Amino acid sequence: MSFDLLIDGGPVLWLILACGILAGVVFIERALHLHRARIKADDFLRGILNILNRGNVSEALAVCGETPGPTARLVRTGILYWGESREVIRAALDEVSRAEFSRMERRLVIVATVAQITPLLGLLGTVLGMVESLFLMRYQSPLIQFPHVSDGLLRALVTTGAGLMVAIPCYAAFNLLVIKIDRIVLDMDRVTGELLAFLWRNKPPAKGIPENGK
């Protein structure tokens, strides 16, 4: 898009572009966050359970603390509540799962909102451009020349196109982020089931769980 089109598009076009830049920044930040958050959950849990089978709770907690992502924090919470009743462990894991899900969805609404409002902003620019053209046609009739109305028509077309050019990638970006979150949530659900089965089937070491996980 040339600089002349940016000028012809008017304030609405600049607003659309600002929304697109904001959504792009949020998408990159969320994509990187979710990329770091997803680990090989099965391998991680298998390693943690092997450590716990050796009775080394402190090492398991340390590994969880050093591993990024919601799955590691979920496992760490389960270990800290090891020895409590099933209801207590389940409640603690559910609370962590909700908190982690909320953290993963943070700022996702910005991308969704931009995808929804930029076509409307484009439509607003179209209406304003058409109104400008009709206004000039009305008050300059019958001495109307094409340059008198071309600015308004060009603004209408440019803002419509810009709104769609921003909205379409934003829809795709939002859906991509949702897919990434769903995959992490599936990993968390699977890990929760396996971890609960292990904690209920085995008793904690005689020395107990280190206070505050230390």
What is the per-residue pLDDT across 71-90, written as a single tens digit (0 to 9) for each?
A: 999 999 988 888 888 888 88
Which residues form the domain of 98?
3-205
Percent of the chain past pLDDT 90, that is, above it, reads 30
Label residues 178-206 b or e (16+ Cβ within 10 Å = b).
eebbeebbebbeebbebbeebbeeeebee
In 3D, which of 1, 31, 49, 44 has the Cα closest to residue 159?
Answer: 1
Q: What is the pLDDT of residue 109?
A: 93
Q: What is the pLDDT of residue 18?
A: 93
Q: Has residue 160 been placed in a domain?
A: yes
Tell me the C-alpha distance between 61 and 76, whole Å: 6
Q: Has residue 11 been placed in a domain?
A: yes
Number of independent structural domains in the chain? 1
Q: Has residue 194 been placed in a domain?
A: yes
Q: Has residue 21 been placed in a domain?
A: yes
Determine which of 34-38, 72-76, 142-146 has the lowest per-residue pLDDT on average: 142-146
Question: Rounded mean pLDDT of 113-138?
Answer: 81
Q: Has residue 161 been placed in a domain?
A: yes
In 3D, which of 117, 114, 119, 121 has the Cα closest to residue 170?
Answer: 114
More confident residue, 17 or 156: 17
In 3D, which of 37, 106, 127 has the Cα closest to residue 74?
Answer: 37
Tell me the C-alpha distance between 179 and 197, whole Å: 28
Q: What is the pLDDT of residue 214?
A: 46
**Does pLDDT of 149 surpass 90?**
no
Q: What is the pLDDT of residue 20?
A: 94
Q: Has residue 163 been placed in a domain?
A: yes
pLDDT band at 139; cut points 50, 70, 90? low
Tell me the C-alpha distance between 60 and 162, whole Å: 52
Question: Rounded mean pLDDT of 177-203?
Answer: 88
Q: How far is CA 62 from CA 76, 77, 78, 177, in A?
A: 9, 12, 14, 30
Q: Has residue 210 been placed in a domain?
A: no
Question: Rounded mean pLDDT of 191-196?
Answer: 88
Q: Has residue 186 been placed in a domain?
A: yes
More confident residue, 144 or 41: 41
pLDDT band at 133; cut points 50, 70, 90? low
pLDDT digits (tens, 9 = 90+) for 62-71: 998 888 889 9
